[in-house]
A = this chain, B = another copy of it.
Amino acid sequence: MLERSIQQFIERYLSVSFLVHKRGAALMKCELDDITHDQYYVLRYIHKRGVCTSTELADVFAVNKSAITAMTNRLVEKGMIARGKDEDDRRIIALSLTERGKEWLVETEQKIYELVETMMTKLSHEEIEQFIQTYEKLAMILQEMEDGK
C-alpha cells in the first residue's frame, strides 16, 4: 500500500511532466522550421558528441535501432548530417553534423535558448539549480531502472 503523500506526488508528477513536455514541444516547434522536435534533439546530441553511432543513439533515446535508421535517413536527406566510415570496424557508421547542420544548429540554439531563458528567468537561480539537479538524479535513476531489467 502506497503512502498517501507519495501517491499524490506520483499523481502530480505524471500530470505535470506530460504537460510540460507537450507544451514545451509545441513552443519549440515554432523555432524549428523544417526540423522536428525529435530531430532537433538528435542533432544536439550528435553535435555534443562530435561523432556517434546509431547504436549509441538508440541506447540514449531508448528506441529501436530501426527508428534511428529512419530518422538519420531524414536528416541525411535534409543535409544536416553525414554518414562516415570507421576504418577499424567496418560495421560501424559514424554519424556527424555537416557544415550546414552545424550552422543550422548554432542559429537555432540561439532561438531555443531565448525561449527557455524566458521560462527560466521567472525562477531564482537557486530554484533552477535545485530543480535541474533533481531532474538529473531522476535521469540517472531511470537509466539504472532500465539497465536493471
| Chain A residues at the B interface, C-beta cutoff of 8 Å | 2, 5-7, 9-10, 12-27, 41, 44, 48, 60-63, 112-113, 115-123, 125, 127-132, 134-139, 141-143, 145-146
What residues on B are CB-neighbors of A131 within 8 Å?
130-131, 134-135
Residue of B nearest to A7 (CB): B113
Q: How far is the CB of A58 from chain B (nearest CB, A)?
A: 11
CB distance from A9 to the nearest CB of B (A): 5
Is the beta-carbon distance between A19 and B139 smaller than 8 angstroms?
A: yes
Are A60 and B19 within 8 A (Cβ)? Answer: yes
Residues of B within 8 A of A145 (CB): 27, 115, 118-119
The answer for the CA separation of A18 and B26 in the assembled complex, in Å, is 14
Chain B residues whose CB sits within 8 angstroms of the CB of A129 once the complex forms: 9
